[in-house]
Chains A and B, each alone.
Chain A
Amino acid sequence: MAGRKLNYSPPRWAMRFFRWYCRKDLADGMEGDMLELYQRRAQQKGKFKANFLFIWNVLRFFQPFALKQKSEFHHSLTTIDMFSNYLKIAYRNLIKSKAFTAINIFGLAIGISSFIIMMSFVFNELSYDRFHSNADRVYRLTYNYEAGSGARQIARVPYPLKPILLSEYPEVETLVRFYRNTLDVTTVRYGEKNFTEDDILFVDPEVFEVFDFRLESGNPETALKDMNSIVMTRRAAAKYFGDENPMGKIVEYKNGDELQVTGILAELPDNSHLQFDMLVPLELQRQRWMRGNGNNSYDFEQDWNWSGALTYILLKEGSSIETFNSKFLEEGRDFFDRDDNTEFEFSGFPLSDIHLHSDMSGELEANGNMGQVIGFGVIALLILVIACINFINLSTARSAQRAKEVGLRKVMGALRQQLIGQFISEAMLIAFVATGIGVLIVELLLPYFNEFMGKKLSIPYLDGPFVIPGLVLGAITIGLFSGLYPAFYLSRFEPSKTLKGNLGARGQGNVRIRRLLVGTQFIISNLLIIGIFVVQSQLDFLRNKDLGFDKDQIMVLKHGTKIDDQFDLFNSRISNIPYVEAANLGYVAGKRAFTQTFRVDGQDLDAGKSMGIKYVSYDFAKMFDLDVINGRFFSKEILSDSAGAMMLNESAVQQFGWTNEQALGKKFSFIGGSDNQTRFEGRIIGILKDANFESLYQPIKPSVFKISQWGSISIKLNVQNGEELRTAIDDINVVWDEIAPTWPFEYSFLDQELEAQYVKEQRLGQAVQYFTFLAIFIACLGLFGLASFTVQQKTKEIGVRKVLGASVRSILILVSKSYIGLIVISFLVATPLGYWLSNQWLQNFEFRIFVGPFYFIIAGLISIGIAALAISSQSLKAASSNPIKTLRHE
């Protein structure tokens, strides 16, 4: 085969296959013809098609006339014979020691299945939003600004940006804005059926141009063009219409607008950060607000001060986001009605990075966390490593039993490479069987894992192009990785020694390596135990940390905003109920609040500070048990409080650079709204003690408090038992039905809601715990196998010792002392490593626990305890066995 350079070369494996089967005398001519044809086709039809046709040709040539004669195959046939012999021997060996085989395969299978399950979670997290065909060209606009305390990023931008982006930026192909009304819940009615819908998004009609949300029926181009239209998922539609065809049906939205169903969505992929049941045109929300209640008309398309639109731009093919960002930053200011404050800027954030890399305020959902995903992946890998180490250990430990076979094979003329090949293929066999069993376990356990994590993971065995090759490759890698050392070790035996029954080659090296591997397992287990302890205590610490306000027995009404103009009436009616302590209109503690810019009287607008604004009622401080440090809280008796009074929290006072005493009586104002009018101004009447309303993970937000005119309704109850609670709820329900007969009475409890925010994190933590237990279990399985093997080998020694009068205790110590030493050493290695890693992780938190020696001692004790359990059952068996039986063999 002359090796002249080809312009195009076909797949090498196909050529090799051809060479393998083709008669030598014909091969050159035929191959040359095929190559020549291939060159021609590659030029005319492209390389891909030519490759395909080449492979097809090679297969077509696989006919008797072109095949090698038997004599030419001679060598390969012996190889096949040899392999079948290897397989037979491997099979016999596996059957001979069933316990060993079971531990080996079972341990490996558990390791592989946990690896697959954890990796499917990791891949699912990494795949977020990549299913959109334009995913690489879609960017969400971020609103960056410098607040007094540092840079802040918001995932939402003002609405009037849209026309500017479309007219001034040719690189923007199109864009879509989403809005979610978090202040108010929505009801949708169809005939008798009236449901409260939490997952409604308001959206521009271009949504289907930017995203690949598939409509099962309806026209994506026109579905949301009309203001009075609604698109819902099949599941949501079934709730209202049952078996009827939903298309064209009219539903009533919030007891007011009539919307026609113009599209039915296929179920949304699980790995989309945009999750919704219904889409309603943004224009509908705009019109509803412009109609307003009374004189309070509001048009967000004119309002530069409100960042409320989740805006996704689709860049034209070939445009780079960097260019767009810098252009947007430089000239953008000319367009934005924001010349008073030059610190504001906008930039695009890649769609597929949102789920794992974005943690701004205003996100649609609590996003994932890259660190956690990496941590999960690392644990998955560690479990696999532990399982492989088991395999290596058990194989080398059993080597004595194979020594004679190796010796015999060598005498019969086997080369070392052939022996290595034999043992590696044996390892491969086990790896493949274990992978098969592992896949079965995955299929059994995945539904439970999904239920637990609230995910919809599945392994796309046939649809995904990489799953089957990945599994095969994985099995080969595991086989190779775990078979390599035993293979080299076993094939080194010298026949003269092994056949004499003297295992000279079982030298110190082997034992040392085995110890090293067991030590590694224990270091890993130890680290994992330390890890779960530290993580769990940190999460508990955060959860139980004093928030600075009392979140117990607070009831939040879902439809409170619908009766906010009748709040006083409602409040006075429910205050007669004995179990109701107080009620509040406006901000609900524990939820996110608006952020606005405030300006001290007499200062420039530029000097404005960005702060949270929380609208509250007169009983707010009492309800949430907040302390007033200076001045006083709002009072009903003082009429001017309802309009001209404000309160600050301590952080806000610090941000203005005042002392608490200075702050009292200061006057400042807030400018905003679509007409840029002064919304209100007022004097500071008091300072509230800092409370961590917003998030446990962030520092306390500087906030301004003011008397509310509207908002959500929360009620503080004072009940001692379930009976009283039921009475209180029933009584409030009666009042509600009188005042708001058209709205359902629905409520939730604040403490539960706050808890729910951390559910995802808790679950992940628990999943990590379970997998850690599994890892330790696998390690123990290996240790158990190893110990039982050692005991088996030492049977005679133990027998002799017992005859000579050794006690059970001394024999126990004899068998386990090497392991205990190992565990102590790995404890000494794992402790500083674990300490360092824990502290690295804790740096992420504003408030963190102190990692004391307690954690390491507990972790060490646990691992020693588990190991002792694994070893002692075997040791005890050996130590208490009757020496007559063990010595009888000779």
Chain B
Amino acid sequence: MKGTYLGEFEELVLLTVGILHDDAYGLGITDELEKQTKRNVTISSVHKALVRLEEKGFLKSGMGGATDARGGRKKRLYELTASGKKQVNEAKELRNNMWNAVPKVVWQGGN
């Protein structure tokens, strides 16, 4: 297994997979990410992140339903693995801890 370092974009992808729950596939994730971040997200970068996250063991995938719009191609549906969930949680905790460590005075901007 490769290192468990998680990039910002990868973290967002993991969260989106969580949001979409049982319909998390490439294009769906791209749309959701665009909606949430209001950024332009390319489908290739999402897939790139998905492949890497699966290699790291945070995601697992299986083939899902095909539609006419997809020319009969099945969706590759992703879901969070246990370590994936743990990783998201750890990331959130890490953030919270760091948040708490910032002195209040910084936010008040008093100096």
Q: Which residues of A contact B (CB under 8 A)?
A: 1-7, 9, 26, 28-37, 39-40, 57, 60-61, 63, 65-66
Taking a contact as CB atoms closer than 8 A, the residue among B52, B61, B71 that contacts A4 in the complex is B71
Which stretch (B5-13, B42-50, B84-92, B93-101) binds chain A? B42-50
Complex CA gap A28/B30 in Å reads 17
Q: Nearest-CB distance from B77 to chain A (Å)?
A: 9
CB<8 Å pairs between A and B, sample of 19: A3-B72, A4-B68, A4-B71, A5-B68, A7-B69, A26-B51, A28-B74, A29-B61, A32-B66, A33-B47, A35-B69, A35-B73, A37-B27, A40-B69, A57-B43, A57-B44, A61-B44, A65-B47, A66-B48
The listed residue (A9, A28, A63) touching B63 by CB distance below 8 A is A28
Which residue on B lies nearest to A58, using beta carbons?
B44
Is A29 within 8 A of B48, CB to CB?
no
CB–CB A36/B70 < 8 A? yes
Inter-chain contacts of B69 with A (CB < 8 A): 6-7, 35-36, 39-40
**CB of B60 closer than 8 Å to a CB of A:** no
Contact A26 B76, beta carbon cutoff 8 Å: yes
Cα distance, A37 to B34, chains bound together (Å)? 14
Contacts of B74 in A (CB 8 A): 28-29, 32
Docked-complex contact A33 and B25, CB < 8 angstroms:
yes
Q: Which residues of B contact A26 (CB under 8 A)?
A: 47, 51, 76
**Contact A35-B43, Cβ < 8 Å, known A29-B75, A63-B48, A66-B51:** no
Closest beta carbon of chain B to A115's beta carbon, Å: 43
Tell me, rounded to whole Å, the shortest Cβ–Cβ distance linking A494 to chain B. 48
Report which of B30, B42, B48, B71 forms a contact with A32, defined as CB distance below 8 A: B71
Closest to B67 in A: A36
Cβ–Cβ < 8 Å partners of A32 in chain B:
66, 70-71, 73-75
Q: A64: nearest residue on chain B (CB-CB)?
A: B48
How many chain B residues sit at the interface, stated as a range, is: 20 to 34
Instruction: Kindly identify which residue among B26, B44, B68 contacts A29, using a CB–CB cutoff of 8 Å.
Output: B26
B33 to chain A, nearest CB (A): 13
Question: Given A29-B26, A63-B48, is A34 in contact with B76 using a C-beta cutoff of 8 Å?
Answer: no
Contacts of B27 in A (CB 8 A): 33, 36-37
B44 lies within 8 A of A63 (CB): yes
Report how far A3 CA is from B70 CA in the complex, Å.
Answer: 10
Q: Considering the complex, give the chain A residue whose CB is closest to the CB of B49.
A: A65
Contacts of A34 in B (CB 8 A): 43
Contacts of B26 in A (CB 8 A): 29-30, 33
A102 to chain B, nearest CB (A): 50
Interface-central residue, A26, A36, A61, by most chain B CB under 10 Å: A36
Cβ contact within 8 Å between A61 and B47: yes
A65 touches B73 (CB 8 A): no
Q: Which 4 A-B pairs have the closest CB atoms?
A: A29-B76, A32-B73, A2-B72, A4-B72
List B contacts of A36 (CB < 8 A).
27, 67, 69-70
Chain B residues near A40 (CB, 8 Å)?
Answer: 69
Sample of 17 further A-B pairs with CB below 8 A, known A30-B26, A33-B47, A35-B71: A4-B71, A6-B68, A6-B71, A7-B68, A9-B71, A31-B71, A32-B71, A33-B27, A33-B70, A34-B43, A35-B69, A35-B70, A37-B27, A60-B42, A63-B48, A66-B47, A66-B48
A7 to B47, CA, bound (A): 25
Let me know if B63 and A37 touch, CB within 8 A.
no
- Least Cβ distance of B17 to chain A in Å? 14
B interface with A by C-beta (< 8 Å): 25-27, 30, 42-44, 47-48, 51-52, 61, 63, 66-76
- Give the docked Cα–Cα distance between A29 and B77 (Å): 9
In the assembled complex, the Cα of A32 lies from the Cα of B73 at a distance in Å of 5
User: A66: which B residues are within 8 A, CB to CB?
Assistant: 44, 47-48, 51
Residues of A within 8 A of B30 (CB): 33
B8 to chain A, nearest CB (A): 18
- A residues in contact with B61, CB < 8 Å: 29
Shortest distance from the beta carbon of A114 to any chain B beta carbon, whole Å: 48
CB contacts (< 8 Å) of B48 on chain A: these are 63, 65-66
User: Which chain A residues border B73 with CB–CB below 8 Å?
Assistant: 1-2, 28-29, 31-32, 35
Report the nearest A residue to B29, measured CB to CB. Answer: A33
Within the complex, the shortest CB–CB distance from B78 to chain A, in Å, comes to 9
Q: Once the chains are docked, how many angstroms separate the CA of A60 from the CA of B44?
A: 6
Contact status B44-A2, CB under 8 Å:
no
Min C-beta distance of A581 to chain B, whole Å: 90
Question: Which of B43, B51, B72 contacts A33 (CB under 8 A)?
Answer: B43
B31 CB, min distance to chain A CBs, angstroms = 9
- The listed residue with most B CB atoms (<10 A of its CB), out of A29, A37, A61, A66, is A29
Q: How far is the CB of B73 from chain A (nearest CB, A)?
A: 3
Q: Given A36-B27, A65-B48, A29 and B63 touching (CB < 8 A)?
A: yes
Residue of A nearest to B61 (CB): A29
Residues of B with C-beta under 8 A to A1: 72-73
Q: Which of B27, B63, B73, B75 has the most CB of A within 10 A?
A: B73
Smallest Cβ distance from B89 to chain A, in angstroms?
26
From A7, A9, A30, name the one whose CB has the most chain B CB atoms within 10 angstroms.
Answer: A30
Contacts of B47 in A (CB 8 A): 26, 30, 33, 61, 65-66
> In the complex, A30 Cα to B27 Cα: how many Å?
9
The docked-state distance in angstroms from the alpha carbon of A60 to that of B75 is 20
Closest beta carbon of chain A to B83's beta carbon, Å = 20
Task: Name the distance in Å between B19's Cβ and chain A's nearest Cβ.
Answer: 18
Min Cβ gap B4→A in Å is 18
**Neighbouring A residues of B44 by C-beta, 8 Å:** 57, 60-61, 63, 66
Q: How far is the CA of A39 from the CA of B70 in the complex (A)?
A: 8
- Assembled-state Cα–Cα distance A556/B47 (Å): 84
Q: Which residue of B lies closest to A2 (CB)?
A: B72
* Other-chain contact of A37, B43, B51, B67, B72 (Cβ < 8 Å): B43
CB of B7, distance to nearest CB on chain A (Å): 14
What residue in chain A is nearest B45 (Cβ atoms)? A60
Give A15's nearest chain B residue, CB to CB.
Answer: B71
A28 to B26, CA, bound (A): 11
**B76, A28: Cβ atoms under 8 Å?**
yes
| Set of chain B residues within 8 Å of A33, measured between Cβ atoms | 25-27, 30, 43, 47, 70, 75
C-alpha gap A484/B56 in the complex (Å): 54
Q: What residues of A have a CB within 8 angstroms of the CB of B76 in the complex?
A: 26, 28-30
Distance, CA A354 to CA B21, complexed state (A): 70
Evaluate contact between B63 and A65: CB separation under 8 angstroms.
no
Q: Which residues of B contact A60 (CB under 8 A)?
A: 42-44
Q: In the complex, which of the residues A9, A31, A34 has the most CB atoms of chain B within 10 Å of its own CB atom?
A: A34
A786 to chain B, nearest CB (A): 55
B66 and A65 contacting across the interface, CB-CB below 8 Å: no
Bound complex: CA of A14 vs CA of B109, how far in Å? 55
Q: Which residue of B is nearest A10, CB measured?
A: B71
CA distance A35 to B66 in the complex (A): 12
How close is A77's CB to chain B, nearest CB, in angstroms? Answer: 24
User: For residue A9, which residue of chain B has the nearest CB?
Assistant: B71
Chain B residues whose C-beta falls within 8 Å of the C-beta of A5 in the assembled complex: 68
Chain A residue, CB-CB nearest to B44: A60
The CA of A26 and the CA of B26, in the complex, are separated in Å by 11
CB of A159, distance to nearest CB on chain B (Å): 63
Nearest CB of chain B from residue A723's CB, rounded to whole Å: 88
| Residues from chain A with Cβ under 8 Å of B66 in the complex | 2, 4, 32
Q: How far is the CA of A6 from the CA of B27 in the complex (A)?
A: 18
Query: Cβ of A31: which chain B residues have Cβ within 8 Å of it?
Result: 71, 73
- Residues in A with CB closer than 8 Å to B70 are 32-33, 35-36
CA distance A795 to B68 in the complex (A): 72
Q: Please, how many angstroms separate the alpha-carbon atoms of A778 and B71 in the complex?
A: 54
Instruction: Tell me the complex Cα distance, A272–B66, Å.
Output: 58
Considering residues B42, B51, B52, B69, which has the most beta carbons from chain A within 10 angstroms of its beta carbon? B69
Q: Which residues of B contact A7 (CB under 8 A)?
A: 68-69
Residues of chain A contacted by B67 (CB below 8 angstroms): 36
Give the docked Cα–Cα distance between A36 and B27 (Å): 8
Smallest CB separation, B22 vs chain A (Å): 16
Chain A residue, CB-CB nearest to B78: A29
The interface residues of chain B lying within 8 Å CB-to-CB of A28 are 63, 73-74, 76
Cα(A29)–Cα(B70), bound, Å: 9
- Provide the bound-state CA to CA distance between A40 and B43, in Å: 14
